[in-house]
Structure 1
Amino acid sequence: MNSKERKLNKFYDSIEHSLSTIAYYCVHLLTILLFILSSFNIIPQYNLIYPISSLNNMFIQSINCYCFFCIEYFLIKCKNTSKNKISFRYYSFKRTGYCKICCKEKYFRVHHCRTCNSCTLRMDHHCSWMNCCIGLHNIRYFYLFLLYGTIVTITNFRKIVLILYYRSFIPNFSFVPSLVGLCISFSCGISLLILLLVQTIFISFNCTTIECLQFISSLSSGLIFKNKFKKSLWKNWCEAFLVEDHQWQLPIKFLPFN
């Protein structure tokens, strides 16, 4: 590769990094915007259609705040968790060599990301929206971000549809907040739900996006692809959520601060 090609690749990488950074902050902005709409427009209008006590309203608002907090928390943790949190010796396999790019020790399921310019253990993919690699160090945070995001968007979408249908019962009703919330919750909800289902399948079978593509490629080539990492369903989830000794703690790992 000559100097001109290297400069061109460096330019493309900088553009990709800038766009990914913008996308990451857009996710934060959409989350905050939907939280404001949900707390100050969607829930109050929904309560006009289906009246509830002030105590129940406080409970619903608290749950709403908790879910949005979890979205922001897991989004930030997914982005900022260091890859060095997980040792490359996490798997009891022999070294397969050294990375040709960063010269680090190479093990099974370790892949080098050109965008991040570093190796990732159990690399699933590079997420452009979060501007980071998804691997063993942050797959739990990524999955829980998808889970809470799907719950919030689907819940708000349902409420907005009912608000629009029964809008005649709401005094001084305005279409703008409801339509904005509807667009955000629908578009984001579909994307999050698809990603959530895909990651649920991958974690259940102890598979990654890269390995799935290798499996598809082997089918087209007539080869047999065997997943040597697959264990029981419970152990697969424990491994993805980094639960080693006390496997009964797995349900607790679905909460923040664990």
Structure 2
Amino acid sequence: MTRRDEVECWLTDMDGVLVHENRPLPGAAELLQQWRDQGKPYLVLTNNSIFTPRDLSARLRSSGLEVPEEFIWTSALATAAFLKDQMPGGSAFVIGEAGITTALHEAGFIMTETAPDYVVVGETRNYSFEAITKAIRLINNGARFIATNPDATGPSADGPMPATGAIAALITKATGKEPYIVGKPNPMMFRSALNKIGAHSENTGMIGDRMDTDVVAGIEAGLHTILVLTGISDEKEIARYPFRPSEILGGVVDLLEHNPIESEVV
């Protein structure tokens, strides 16, 4: 198992690790600066496929965190990279917003409602019954079914709302076809992120706040995994799973070199 002092590149989740409700978590800005000062390649990852990296960079900046767009990797970018590798110059019918449509356009894909190679379901705040019906018919006619991420719900000011996984489940029920999901917990998202920054699994660390996505995907991708307790997971949640991260920390503040503390190494 790679020790933390052997980690040369970093992948980190965004929500629950660097920010919470648009506010930076303790140590987040300092950790990003530490990586920059040390020249360590890193990427900020998110399963959210609504926004482009430019959008997310602006949102993080408004929260007080400087993350250039080229240091952000979304499930939409990972999906586009996967489809470009599978079928260069292919076509897709997309349910989603700018994050996924922009990524697919930049990957050379054509958006069409006529006999597409793929139906791609991503995150959106405007799911349309007409679009879902069209997706079902296209899949029944032979289009391959792809989803950017499996999250069944997403947060809103009024509480949970249906997300990509819930809409994909509706389409699965109507077609009998399961989607191929590119985002976390598929380790493919981490592998595509590693490719982007030219990193290798044996010297890369992953920081996340969820056992069921960040940690399991990091383990399967062969990374040094760090679970922080500033997001979803707590000790009771951790005990539910048969696998363990390399380390459990209170938050990213514990990764600052001028603030060494005892961590639980497992």
Provide the TM-score with structure 2 as the length reference: 0.26
Question: Greater helix share, 1 or 2?
Answer: 1
Question: Greater strand share, 1 or 2?
Answer: 2
Provide the TM-score with structure 1 as the length reference: 0.26
